[in-house]
């Protein structure tokens, strides 16, 4: 029996193209560092990897990278995908979102919609293991369409002022007014993307696991060296000293996070108990 192989793709954007985002450049500090640190874990774990930083992290490059992995990987293989950057939202076109908004990744030249990611998962063979780490705002369910169990209320989208003299935190969220302007200025493009998706979501036979930086109704904080989620994940991983399984990995990250940012773990596609019982990043 052939030994399983691993492919990884790491995406980090410290800004976006203001030409697409209504003049907004979306400056962040630590997303490229996040991608580079995730690429180091992938390399140490035996994955063959690609890293796309800021201007190279375009819609086309990311979609092509995922499709290339789907073409290469067979049953039992592993695709490791990480994203650090702004989370965004566009109007839901197919009625699968209770809040009428699809979650997105803000790539350099345009947003990648969660419905598009679902269709990309459908291109992977049965029981390919997929791990997605998304350090972005509104990322709790970014790998799929809807999350009916979560009542999205009370969301705070602007940095909270501090009274102790510290610099206000920066969050990885596209502001509401920018999201609206971006969609309106590029409505034909996004409507075309939505129209190209099948009316009924395609079946996913891969084993997709998401560990996200926050819930759908929360924001992910940027940082000086890493995003808060990624930095916490790295501390839990502890240069490979962590020996537990994915559920423990997720729980240990959550324990170290503030209550305002609660990383989510969710599974879509086929359930694989063997995958559940593995140490993170094990090919």
- For the chain, the domains span 6-148+168-276
The whole-number pLDDT of residue 137 equals 82
Q: Which CATH class is domain 6-148+168-276?
A: alpha beta
pLDDT in tens, the chain (283 residues): 689 999 999 999 999 999 999 999 999 999 999 999 999 999 999 999 999 999 999 999 999 999 999 999 999 999 999 999 999 988 866 555 444 578 899 999 999 999 999 999 999 999 999 999 999 986 655 555 433 333 332 333 333 344 445 557 899 999 999 999 999 999 999 999 999 999 888 999 999 999 999 987 888 999 999 999 999 999 999 999 999 999 999 999 999 999 999 999 999 999 999 999 999 999 9
The reported pLDDT for the residue numbered 160 is 39
DSSP state letters, the chain:
-PPP-EEEEEEE-S---TTTTTT-----SSHHHHHHHHHHHHHHTT-EEEEEEGGG--HHHHHHHHHHHHHH--TT-EEEEEEES-EEEEE-SSS--TTSEEEEEEETTEEEEHHHHHHHHTTSPTT-EEEEEEESTT-TTTTSS--TTS---S---SPPP-SSSPPPP-BSB--HHHHHHHHHHTHHHHHHHHHHS-SSPPP--SEEEEEESS-TTS--B--SSS-HHHHHHHHHHGGGT--S-HHHHHHHHHHTS-TT----EEEEES--HHHHTSPTT--
pLDDT of residue 149: 30
Instruction: Identify the pLDDT of residue 157.
Output: 36
pLDDT at 131: 98
| pLDDT value of position 99 | 47
Q: pTM of the prediction?
A: 0.89
């Amino acid at each position: 029996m052939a030994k399983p192989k691993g492919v990884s793709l790491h995406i980090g954007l410290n800004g976006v193209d203001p030409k697409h985002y209504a003049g907004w450049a979306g400056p962040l500090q630590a997303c490229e560092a996040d991608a580079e640190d995730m690429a180091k874990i992938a390399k140490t774990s035996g994955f063959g990897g690609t890293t796309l930083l800021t201007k190279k992290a375009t819609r086309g490059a990311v979609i092509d990278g995922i499709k290339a992995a789907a073409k290469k990987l067979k049953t039992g293989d592993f695709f490791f995908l990480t994203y650090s950057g702004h989370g965004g939202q566009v109007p839901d076109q197919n009625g699968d979102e209770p809040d009428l908004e699809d979650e997105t990744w803000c790539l350099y030249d345009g947003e990648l919609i969660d419905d598009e990611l679902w269709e990309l998962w459908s291109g992977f063979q049965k029981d390919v293991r997929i791990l997605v780490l998304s350090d972005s705002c509104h990322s709790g369910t970014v790998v799929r369409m809807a999350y009916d169990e979560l009542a999205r209320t009370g969301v705070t989208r602007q940095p909270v002022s501090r009274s102790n003299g510290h610099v206000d935190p920066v969050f990885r969220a596209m502001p509401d007014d920018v999201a609206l302007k971006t969609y309106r200025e590029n409505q034909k493009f996004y409507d075309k993307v939505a129209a190209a998706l099948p009316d009924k979501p395609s079946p996913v036979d891969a084993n997709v696991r998401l560990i996200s930086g926050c819930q759908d109704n929360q924001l992910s904080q940027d940082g000086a060296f890493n995003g808060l989620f990624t930095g916490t994940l790295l501390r839990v991983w502890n240069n490979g000293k962590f020996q537990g399984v994915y559920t423990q990995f997720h729980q240990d990250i959550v324990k170290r996070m503030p209550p305002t940012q609660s990383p989510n773990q969710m599974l879509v596609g086929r359930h694989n108990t063997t995958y559940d019982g593995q140490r993170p990043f094990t090919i």
